[in-house]
Structure 1
């Protein structure tokens, strides 16, 4: 297994022009619009994906550089035992993962692009849901 590397990131300092622009941009989405977007999230995602398929994010193959152990997953030759691993779809904010995954049976969880797609008020539900299946919860 490839060794994990920790790389530090430095926050970019905003210019005074950027700071002013942020101060001026205080417009919030209306409560009605927020609720509408939240209620129609699945429909909007389906429409977005139908329109863009896999063309929206350019595949830069960074996962295979950062997580070498996943390399053969991209080549349709998984490194995991397909008899022990089950593929399924669920809404992590609503569905109980324990319906699909035994408690404390997961060693690694990758949430790439997941939490950014979840409403901040529901992020704790996602994390609690995953935590129940993760092996560190005991």
Structure 2
């Protein structure tokens, strides 16, 4: 079996705040301190959000029709909302095809591909064409945009619609995928469907294959900035456009993946302190970055 490169920490930078008096010198700091007082304040903010939740008659519609919300999102924004993820190879070297032997044939599945902000950069970087890339999304509008891109080439990859909370796609043979990417995707799934989604993805992995995850962590600034009528349930919210987002802890994520037969090789918080120097405001980004391996004895 090929050797899989190890997960490296977030490559955003190595700017550490060692002197708190200098916090305003830069717009961002890596791996900042997170203490009990900060967590207490975050919990108080969330308790305040619960006072004005989403109206009950809207909740069932939001939970049962996520596809509609995402189709509306892509119909409105097309390919002009997200930026290409040019940091991918630095944070996930498993996707760097230069690290594999010349005769390698690596099958990758990108989950929640949107309009191709991961797909097309990965194919562009794969100069020797070692990768075959499957790209799926449960928004048909997003897939239409991907297929309409001038760089879409089915000799190198295939895009298709798939709700990963449903049985695995017939577009992919079970046990055939080397690497699956889930970049800010699993948080869009209601907690009740989370494990089913992971199990569905696991069936597509080869033994020893991996799932790479980057997603929102509990108490991320985006969670704490929600105002009235966004709270649905514990750590589950709807955005203004109706799309869902759930904020996990890394322990919660590890438990769910282990339940589905996937072992954590790495699962860490990727923290960032964002500084607005104009108004003297400090905000914490808290993401989870992880790599889970499919057990070889299943």
The TM-score, its normalising length taken from structure 1, stands at: 0.73
C-alpha separation between the residues in 2 aligned to 1:134 and 1:48? 30
Which residue in 1 is equivalent to 2:161?
89
Partner-residue secondary structure (3-state), 2:173: coil
After superposition, what is the alpha-carbon deviation per residue over 1:70-116, rounded to whole angstroms, capped at 9, x for unaligned? 6651458553256696543211112x225222222222111112201
- Select 1:117's aligned residue among 188, 195, 202: 188
Matched positions, count: 137
In the alignment, structure 1 residue 58 sits paired with structure 2 residue 109: no
Shift of 1:37: 0.9
Corresponding residue of 2:9? 7
Q: Which moved more, 1:37-46 or 1:80-89?
A: 80-89
**1:25: Cα distance to partner?**
2.4
Contact residue 8 and residue 92 of structure 2 kept, 8 A: no
Where structure 2 has 5 or more consecutive residues not aligned to the other structure, the ranges are: 11-30, 98-120, 133-153, 208-293
**Alpha-carbon separation, structure 2, partners of 1:16 and 1:129:** 37
Say yes or no: does 1:73 pair with 2:123.
Answer: yes
What is the TM-score when the length of structure 2 is the normalising length?
Answer: 0.38
2:47 corresponds in structure 1 to 23
Moved more, 108-117 or 64-73: 64-73
1:129 offset after TM fit, Å? 0.5
1:116-135 equivalence runs, <5 A? 116-135=187-206
Give yes or no for contact 2:9–2:91 (8 Å, CA) kept in 1.
Answer: no
State the superposition RMSD in angstroms. 3.3
Structure 1: 5+ residue stretches without partners: none
Quote the Cα distance in structure 1 between the aligned partners of 2:123 and 2:67: 27
Assess if the C-alpha contact under 8 Å between 1:93 and 1:126 holds in 2. yes
Q: Considering fraction of residues, name the structure with more strand.
A: 2
User: Equivalents in 1 of 2:42, 2:170: separation in Å?
Assistant: 47
